[in-house]
Amino acid sequence: MKTEARPYVGAALERVEGVEKVTGLARYAYENFPDDLAYAVPVQASVARGTVLAADVDAVVRLPGVIAAIWHGNAPRLAPADNAELAVLQSDRVAYRGQYVAVVVAETLQCAREAARLLRIDYDAEPHDVELRADHPEMYRPDRVNAGYPADTELGDPDAALAAAPVLVDATYRTPAEHNNPMEPHATVAVWSGDGLTLHDSTQGVSALRETIAPLFGMPPENVRVISPHVGGGFGSKGAALPPVVLAALAAKHTGRPVKLAVTRQQMFAVTGYRTPTIQRVRLGADTGGRLTVIVHEAFEQSSRLREFAEQTTTPTRVMYAAPDRRTAHRLVRLDVPTPAWMRAPGEAPGMFALESAMDELAVACGIDPVELRIRNEPAAEPESGLPFSSRNLVGCLREGARRFGWADRDPTPAARTRGRMLVGTGVAASTYPVYRRPSRASARCEPDGRFSVRIAAADIGTGARTILTQVAADALRVTPDRVRVEVGDTALPAASLAGGSAGTASWGTAVVRACEALLEELDLRGGDVPAEGLEATADTAEEVGEQPEYARHAFGAQFAEVGVDLDTGEARVLRLLGVFAAGRIVNPVTARSQFVGGMTMGMSMALLEESVMDREFGDYLNHDLAQYHVPTAMDLPDVQAYWIEEDDPHLNPLGAKGIGEIGIVGTAAAVANAVHHATGVRVRDLPIRLDKLVR
């Protein structure tokens, strides 16, 4: 496969839906108004474990404006679901506090909210267990972890190597539960007509959602249409079907009315997934020159009673550094907690906080510059698989980042610099994220007037997918982008993979290129004549994706942080964040920079702000709104810069692109924590870095 630079791939095209978004005309899921619309408001369980004994739905349906009150006692039956989270209102069991146990449908939102508030539900509560502990007796090894990786790996004799290592780092790191909190809460408008269901839904993948929802209602997928042209962020939380969309469809079926349902911000902390808290033990053995002889990385995580979601926390350690003896492991415990799921860079984000903090500790222990330490441990091939890297430019990113950041004259002494009333310090960490590509279909169509349309059931959740696919199609069709219209976000379009795993550009881009190539071939056969009804060609990349040769395909990056810690209060602020990434060809420098910067901003937030606090007494996430769960404002990161190293990697896809949605968050928290250590001499191993952890 060859990659070829063409005029529009790589160009700074403005977001094609930009004007729609700044004028308020871009339509999100809840902003659909079918005739005869009713409003659904869910009711959440107020116990963390137990049984629903009764719901006084009869009293509530007599309230003004109420159409129906639905609980498991009167809910339509669904077909059994692989994912027990989706068996909404099918059982009297409560698996976690905040689980949906009823829904009220009313003529207005106000009436529905009032009635939902008044619905009396009686429970038989049981004692709950919601606390993640590494020594929990029910810890077990899952068969596989997320994205299909093995739970454990081992090479050589890591225990013997640890015992023999001249320099040893042995540290335990903790990351808290974190919630994705896209600005648009999950929302659905569900409309039944005959035996067909239309869902206007806020989703990262219309095709996958349809495949999941249809069988629950005993229908073939083609009876379900999912429409999702604009999505107000997802960060993983809109990747898979969740209880709210099922509840909306169920409420619409039960009432015979179109129903709209939006998850409240507070409810999002229970029913829309989150990043599992982790406890991670990292052991690094090295010679006195900092060359790793052994790496051991073990992670302890939680999932719910309903569903096993095992995050792949230690998988980046299988990729990063050379060492002959090594082990990675994942252990999971099922608790009476909400179900964790994908949040931006699941696995890599918490895993690299631990590994890259430990690398900094090793640099300190060996007295070696942390940039140099990483360069010394650069592997020749992927350490565990032995596969050659399709391309790997971590060293290039570290060097370029060090140059741009002004790393060269850094004095490694901790707690040695002040600026005004601040202690200041700098830190570095590496980033990595795998390159995934999934099968997708697309169509390309030419009209007699010379305009083209490209159709693919992709999702633009703010990534710029619609824009970059326009560029990709323009190049493949050898026309200017203004002649190409790309349609996404609808199951009426050719089925495509979901927006996840930073795989959109690679997956959808391949399908778009192949569809456009097929169309040009058709046009060639006709001598360029376009028939009056237009000409269309389609592509399906299942075979191409399935046959790709084995390589270790990963993006890499280096992140540099400067922090200031208030001498009086201990408040840490990130003064400057600079990242350099090697992610193949960058399709659009404008949208790519926004993706990198957005990821880095979320990584800074992971370092200093984000923490979902489990209330042991009541068994739910206590700080469940945006006043108490802190995400950054414009004031929190005054200087963030993203750069990249161009790679020409022929082993990826026709675009030579690696995917950039997640790598920006990977390593950031470690860079910040390492900078905090440099500033203060305090090593914070449990995120977030709150002031109480720095004031002694």
Q: Catalytic site residues?
A: 662
How many chain residues touch other proteins (CB under 8 A)? 77
Establish if 41 lies at the interface with other proteins (CB under 8 A).
no
CB of 245 vs other proteins, minimal distance in Å: 18
- Find how far residue 312's CA is from the centre of its chain: 13
Strand locations in 520-672 (E):
535-540, 554-566, 572-582, 614-615, 620-621, 640-644
Give all strands of the β-sheet with 572-582 in edge-to-edge order.
Answer: 418-419, 422-434, 554-566, 572-582, 640-644
In the complex, what is the shortest distance from the CB of residue 467 to other proteins, in angstroms, rounded to a whole number? 10
If the CB atoms of residues 290 and 598 are measured against other proteins, the closer one turns out to be 598
Element (H, E) at 684: none
Residue with smaller CB distance to other proteins, 153 or 264: 264
Say whether residue 112 binds other proteins (CB under 8 A). Answer: no
Q: Where are the alpha helices (DSSP H) in 479-588?
A: 504-525, 542-546
Nearest CB to other proteins, comparing residues 61 and 168: 61
CB 229 within 8 A of CB 489: yes
Of positions 86, 169, 241, 262, contacts other proteins by CB under 8 A: 262
- Is 660 near other proteins (CB under 8 A)? no
With CB under 8 A as the contact rule, the residue among 85, 114, 360, 620 that binds other proteins is 114
Site residues for other proteins, window 609-628 (CB under 8 A)? 625-627
How far is Cα of residue 555 from the mean position of the Cα atoms in its chain? 16
Judged by CB under 8 A, the chain residues 143 through 182 that form the site for other proteins are 181-182
Which helix (H) or strand (E) segment holds residue 532: the answer is none
- d(C-alpha 380, C-alpha 391), whole Å: 11
Chosen residue from 334, 593, 651, 677 binding other proteins by CB under 8 A? 593
- Which region, judged by CB under 8 A, interacts with other proteins, from 106-114, 366-374, 476-484, 498-506? 106-114
Helix axes 206-216, 243-255, angle to 10 degrees: 50
Contact positions with other proteins (CB under 8 A) in 412-471: 461-464
- Stretch 392-411 residues interacting with other proteins (CB under 8 A): none
| Contact pick of 631, 683, 693, 695 for other proteins (by CB under 8 A) | 631
525 contributes a contact to other proteins by CB under 8 A? no
494: closest CA among 543, 541, 462? 541
CB of 184 to other proteins, least distance (A): 4
Between residues 116 and 586, which has the closer beta carbon with respect to other proteins? 116
Please pick, from the candidates 10, 142, 176, 232, the single residue that binds other proteins as defined by CB under 8 A: 232
Considering only residues 63, 168, 219, 695, which one is a binding residue for other proteins as defined by CB under 8 A?
A: 63
Build a one-symbol-per-residue string for 344-373: x at contacts with other proteins by CB under 8 A, - elsewhere: ------------------------------
- Dihedral sign computed on CA atoms, order 443, 444, 448, 449: positive
Residue 520 within binding range of other proteins, rule CB under 8 A: no
Among 184, 311, 361, 662, binds other proteins (CB under 8 A): 184
Question: Structure tokens of 283?
Answer: 């052991």
Among positions 357, 393, 601, 674, the unique one binding other proteins when judged by CB under 8 A: 601
Q: How far is the CB of 187 from other proteins (least distance, A)?
A: 9
- Residue among 25 and 380 whose Cβ is closer to other proteins: 25
Which of 555, 547, 487, 482 shows the shortest CA–CA distance to 515? 487
Alpha-carbon distance of 299 to 147, in angstroms, equals 16
The token duo for 236 is 């993983």
Q: Which of 117, 144, 421, 616 binds other proteins (CB under 8 A)?
A: 117
- Give residues with Cβ within 8 angstroms of 599, minimum separation 6: 344, 345, 660, 661, 662, 663, 664, 665, 666, 668
In the complex, the smallest distance separating the C-beta of residue 63 from other proteins, rounded to whole angstroms, is 5
| Residues in 121-140 that interact with other proteins by CB under 8 A | 121
The radius of gyration of the chain's CA atoms, rounded to the nearest angstrom, is 26
Which residues in 646-679 are b (16+ Cβ under 10 Å) and which e?
ebebebbbbbbbbbbbbbbbbbbbbbbbbbbbbb
Polymer length in residues for the chain: 696
At closest approach, how far in Å is the CB of 14 from other proteins?
6
Nearest distance in Å: CB 543, other proteins: 33
- Taking the complex as a whole, how short is the minimal distance between the CB of residue 465 and other proteins, in angstroms? 11
Q: Of the ranges 102-110, 166-174, 271-279, 523-531, which one interacts with other proteins (CB under 8 A)?
A: 102-110
What are the helix (H) ranges across 526-576?
542-546
Stretch 185-224 residues interacting with other proteins (CB under 8 A) = 185
Is 569 a binding residue for other proteins by CB under 8 A? The answer is no
Specify burial of residue 596 (Cβ count, 10 A radius: 0-12, 13-18, 19+). Answer: buried
- Amino acid, single-letter form, for residue 662: E
299 with 364: CB under 8 angstroms?
no
Counting contacts by CB under 8 A, is residue 635 touching other proteins? yes
Task: Give the position of tokens 């009297």.
Answer: 92
Residue 36 is a binding residue for other proteins (CB under 8 A): no
Residue 434 has φ and ψ, to the nearest 5°, of -70, 155
53 binds other proteins, rule: CB under 8 A: no
- Answer for which of 60, 69, 86, 362 binds other proteins (CB under 8 A) is 60
Query: Of 22, 115, 13, nearest to 60 (Cα)?
Result: 115
Among 199, 296, 640, 672, binds other proteins (CB under 8 A): 640
**1-30: which residues touch other proteins (CB under 8 A)?**
14-15, 17-28, 30
